[in-house]
Structure 1
Amino acid sequence: MNVDTVNKRPTAASTTNVQPSVLANIYQSTNIAIWPRKLPLAFISDLEQLLASEANLSIVERVSPHSAADQLKSKLSDFACAEELSEDIALLVDMFCCLFGRQEAGLRLTTLSKPMCPNFHVDHIPVRLVTTYLGTATQWLEDDNVKRERLGTGNPSDEVFAYTDIQQMQPGDVALLKGSGWEGNEHHGLVHRSPQNRQGERRLLLTQDCI
């Protein structure tokens, strides 16, 4: 990946800027860029119907900005949210590919009833787009609050003492998470985890990776 390298140590930073162009901040000395957004209530209602159906989605696709909507509509045709969700994801694919100069992206859309990655960790990839459409969203840590030597212990009680100031995205927010595979960021990938699901909660999570 062709990325701008920086001399400063990357730090995590979000923003109250509601414009999607804020995601380009990932090229600066930051290891997370967040576009905070609120989804329309009618869209949320349709998404809630999808989760209430107890459908177990695990859609993994290689998509382009031109193909994403149609590929997803065919997979989601049983649900009222199919068109709006597919079009929203296609928009995010377009933004992702444009920002990183890609023709395609690797996409995963999944329903979750338990945390996918419950322990704090770093992704060993350049960058990942994450958005939780419904349910408790991704948690992350400011770089200054991380004791990286404790990563990988697998002991949740260790995590409580090793990290402070847990930050949390909100449903609908779109974030770019810089990993250790980003040039110049080998030792400062964003430390993050899946949240603990509330009792009976199901989540709808989208991720995109460079391919």
Structure 2
Amino acid sequence: MTTVLPPLATGINSSTDPSVLQTLGSEGVSLALWQRTLPEHLIVALDELPVERLPQLRRRVTVRNAATAIHSACDEVGAGSCATLLADVVEDLTAHAVRVLASPVLQLRLDVTDGQPCPKWHVDAVPGRMLCTLRGPGTEFGPIGPDGAPETIQRMPRGWVGVFRGALWPARELAAVLHRSPPREAGGPRLLLVIDPVDDAGTC
């Protein structure tokens, strides 16, 4: 008996218009990229901070309290110089994530890394995930090839926003755009924003 495999969604949509994020649910699309530019003052403020003062966070939030969570994370490490600008950016992105990921509650992370914490090409075990590199080199990505590795490799510029379909995306198609952390030689350290949906049972 022949096994019929589900179709692969390898499409990538990109635009300077944030409405491109809404195309993640379109047939064949596994990655929607908003070609966004961070405010210059935020770039300068983050780049001036020593690594130990980059804010880190892991918290469930709604759009209403996302900014407060960022301010608290900045206060904990003495990163007040970037708190307001960073909070504004994150609050805006959580609003987009709520619509794209269809989840009023989100798991919000600010990760500080050096090196390559996720070297393997993968699809996340979540319905969908929003990524935005706030400092350092961006996430690498590419559509899956016949050998299980990306056919082509691209890197998200700093400030760009990518929403990836995960393995649990509710569609017949399989998410087939892989991603990974950039290699150490790409530079660092990184400050990465990660936003996941939280389901009705309270799990990501």
| TM-score of the two chains, using structure 2 as the length reference | 0.84
Taking the aligned partners of 2:98 and 2:155, their CA distance within structure 1 comes to 25
- Does the Cα contact within 8 Å between 1:179 and 1:185 map onto a contact in 2? no
Q: Please give the root-mean-square deviation of Cα atoms over the aligned residues, in Å.
A: 2.0
Q: What are the ranges of 5 or more consecutive residues in structure 2 without an aligned counterpart?
A: 1-5, 199-204
Superposition map of 1:185-200 within 5 A: 187-198=174-185
Q: Alpha-carbon deviation of 1:120?
A: 0.8
In structure 2, the CA distance between the partners of 1:206 and 1:12, relative to structure 1 (3 Å rule), is: same
Q: Aligned-pair distance for 1:201? A: 2.0
CA distance in 1, matches of 2:140, 2:182: 6
Cα distance 1:146–1:205, how it changes in 2: closer, same or farther (>3 A)? Answer: farther
The code of the aligned residue for 1:207 comes to V
User: 1:63 aligns to what?
Assistant: 61
Pick one of 163, 173, 178 that aligns with 2:160.
173
Instruction: Give the unaligned 5+ runs of structure 1.
Output: 1-6, 149-161
Deviates more, 1:177-186 or 1:70-79: 177-186
Could you say what secondary structure the match of 1:183 adopts? coil
Q: Equivalent residue for 1:95?
A: 96
Q: Distance in 1 between matches of 2:40 and 2:150?
A: 35
State the SS of the aligned residue for 1:124: coil
1:54 to 52, 55, 66: 52
**How many Å apart are 1:92 and its aligned residue?**
0.7
Contact 2:16–2:34 at 8 Å: present in 1 too? yes
CA distance in 2, matches of 1:200, 1:192: 17
Report the secondary structure of 1:106's partner residue: strand
- Deviation at residue 20 of structure 1 after TM alignment: 0.7
1:53 positional shift = 4.6
Tell me what 2:3 maps to. none
Deviation at 1:140, TM superposition (A): 1.0
Larger deviation: 104-113 or 56-65? Answer: 56-65
Contact 2:138 2:157 (8 Å CA) reproduced: yes
Matched, 1:183 2:170: yes
Percent of residue pairs bearing the same amino acid type? 29
Using the TM superposition, give the Cα deviation of residue 101 of structure 1 relative to its aligned residue in structure 2, in angstroms: 3.0
Which residue number in structure 2 is paired with residue 147 of structure 1? 147
Tell me the distance in 1 between the aligned counterparts of 2:135 and 2:107: 21
Partner of 1:119: 120
More strand by share: 2
SS of the residue 2:13 aligns to: coil
Aligned partners of 2:178 and 2:187: how far apart in 1?
26
Q: In 2, Cα distance between the equivalents of 1:147 and 1:138?
A: 21
Partner of 2:138: 137
Q: Name the SS of the counterpart of 2:141 in structure 1.
A: strand
Instruction: Assess if the C-alpha contact under 8 Å between 1:12 and 1:142 holds in 2.
Output: yes
One-letter code aligned to 1:34: L
Matches within 5 A, 1:20-59: 20-28=18-26, 29-50=28-49, 52-55=50-53, 57-59=55-57
Structure 1 distance, partners of 2:130, 2:113, is 17
Q: 2 CA distance for matches of 1:173 and 1:75?
A: 22
